[in-house]
Amino acid sequence: MANQGECPKCGKRVLHVNVETVISMVDTESKGRCMSYSCIHCNAVLGIQVDRRIKPRSRVRPTPKG
Ligand SMILES: [Zn+2]
C-alpha cells in the first residue's frame, strides 16, 4: 500500500507539512520546545512532537551528596 495520508480537516493528501517550533506550556509555565506539524492547505495541526534536540532548562540542579 502506498502511503497516502489525508488531512482530517480538508481531506487533501498530506504530502507536505508546515513545521513550526512551539513551546509546551504547563500552567502558563514553559516546559520545553515542541515541533508542530500542520497541513499546508488549511493549517490544521496534524501532530505535535517534543523536540528532543534541545534540552529543556532545568531550574533544579541535582545536588551531589557528600
Ligand atoms: Zn488540510
The tally of domains found in the chain comes to 1
Query: Is 40 inside a domain boundary?
Result: yes
Query: Is 12 inside a domain boundary?
Result: no
Give rounded-to-5 percent helix, strand, coil for the chain: 0, 45, 55
pLDDT tens figures, 2-30: 668 899 999 999 999 999 999 999 999 99
Centre of ligand 1 to C-alpha 51, Å, is: 23
Residue 49 has φ and ψ, to the nearest 5°, of: -135, 140
Query: Is 21 inside a domain boundary?
Result: yes
Q: What is the pLDDT of residue 57?
A: 61
- Cβ atoms of 36 and 25 within 8 Å: the answer is no
Query: Is 1 inside a domain boundary?
Result: no
Query: Is 35 inside a domain boundary?
Result: yes
Query: Is 2 inside a domain boundary?
Result: no
Please state, rounded to an integer, the average pLDDT across all residues of the chain.
86
Query: Is 37 inside a domain boundary?
Result: yes
Centre of ligand 1 to C-alpha 45, Å, is: 8
Centre of ligand 1 to C-alpha 48, Å, is: 15
pLDDT at 55 > cutoff 80:
no
Q: What is the pLDDT of residue 51?
A: 79
Strand arrangement of the beta sheet that strand 29-39 belongs to = 17-26, 29-39, 45-50
Query: Is 5 inside a domain boundary?
Result: no
